[in-house]
Amino acid sequence: MEIFTAAGFWALLQVMAIDLVLAGDNAIVIGLAAAGLPADQRKKAILVGIIAATVLRIGFALITSWLLAIGPILLIAGGLLLLWVCWKMYRELSVSPAEEDEAHEALEGRDDGIPHGKRKTFAQAAWQIVIADVSMSLDNVLAVAGAAMEHPTVLIVGLVLSIALMGFAATFVARLLHKYRWIAWLGLLVILYVAIKMLAEGAIGEFPEQLGFLETYLGWAGIHGPGAAAAH
């Protein structure tokens, strides 16, 4: 089983970091969207968000094999998407303590009033949450697939863990990231590495004659072309 090899174990560590950080990030986004609702509607909006995120992760996980079969172009697209995720996460990690506290108050069900007049309807909050869930669920599945592409067992473990964390422990993970910020920054670095890896492997696969030489120089970083991946 490749999970017990050095490469497989390294991929598993990457996948666990990605799942942990993106589940917590998704929960914080849900909390921010629900923060402008009255207390009686807040719990309902958060529940809708977590259920939608869980269902979307299951749906995207089911089509992962089909997505991976598309080839190098998907790797390039996925890498670009993950670079955008990195930028978005960096901005979220740089938000003011007051804004982050709003999200955690919503997730924990505390009612300290609606701050700064940010009142919204349930439909507006639910729409914001679902849009964020679609993007972040796809991000999560692509990031896991990018990290574990050459290790099918790790890919399955990663997708199951992603679904479990979002469905059963999202609020706990969000609190964990709030308390220990270094975990979120570490996860951001892992996602950045996966994004660069996907972009490089996609570019080598799409333009082997022009960029094939990069494989020689980037092999130390675990970056290989599709031919090398197939040989594993």
Taking only the tens place, the pLDDT of each residue in 188-228 is 888 888 888 888 878 877 777 776 666 665 654 455 555 44
Does pLDDT of 20 surpass 80? yes
pTM tops 0.75: no
- Supply the pLDDT for residue 109: 63
Return the exposure string of 35-61: e unless at least 16 CB atoms fall within 10 Å of the residue's CB, then b: bbbeeebbeebbebbbebbbebbbebb
Q: What pLDDT, on a 0 to 100 scale, did the predictor assign at position 230?
A: 40
User: What is the dihedral angle through the alpha carbons of 45, 48, 54, 56, rounded to the nearest 10 degrees?
Assistant: -110
Angle in degrees, CA 28, 32, 33, rounded to 5: 120
Residue 6 confidence (pLDDT): 81
pLDDT at 114: 47
Q: What is the pLDDT of residues 86-99, one digit of tens each?
A: 887 787 777 666 66
Question: Mean of the pLDDT values across residues 66-91?
Answer: 79
CA distance 219 to 36: 49
- The predicted-structure confidence for 98-135, as pLDDT tens digits, reads as follows 666 666 666 666 655 444 445 668 888 888 888 888 87
Where in the chain are the domains? 2-231
